[in-house]
Every structure is written in C-alpha cells, then in structure tokens.
Amino acid sequence: MPLLISDTNIFLDFDAAGLLVKLFSLPHELAVPDLLLEEELREFHQDLIGLGLRQVELEPEAINRLVELARVYTLPSRVDLFRP
C-alpha cells in the first residue's frame, strides 16, 4: 500500500468538505510528520488517528533542513498574500 505523507492542511480541507472518511478509505496509507501531529492535530483532531492517520518521525537532520529552508523561503505559508 503506498504511503502518502502530507502536511495538516489537506486533512483540514477534507474535514471541512465532509470527505475525511472517503479520504481514509482510499487504498493508501496516510501520514504526517510527528511534529505536525503534536502541534496542529492531536488536540482538536483526534478523529484522524482513529481513521488511520499515522505519524512518521522526523530525524534531527530533516528538522534542521526544514529550519534552513524556512529561513531561505520566507514567502510560502508565512505571508497572507491577500492582506492589504
């Protein structure tokens, strides 16, 4: 079964559309990095774990690389482009 790793937004969008159960019925395993699960999903979206969402552990090197990329690429997901 293919493993799809995502950020949290996809799950929130599918939830808003009422399609979470259909998403988790696809022939794929769905996962998020452990950091995102703990910071963004566990408290208010425990149902995702019950549906089968897996957490994958980010190695320290991967976290360092993410911090490095966030310093270089400040625009994506960090600036509200529609704000005047």
pLDDT category of residue 69 using cuts at 50, 70 and 90:
confident
Strands 29-33 and 54-56: parallel
For residue 62, pLDDT beyond 60: yes
Q: What's the pTM? A: 0.65
* Domain ranges across the chain: 3-57
Residues 11-61 have pLDDT tens digits of: 889 989 999 999 999 999 998 888 777 777 777 777 888 899 888 887 888
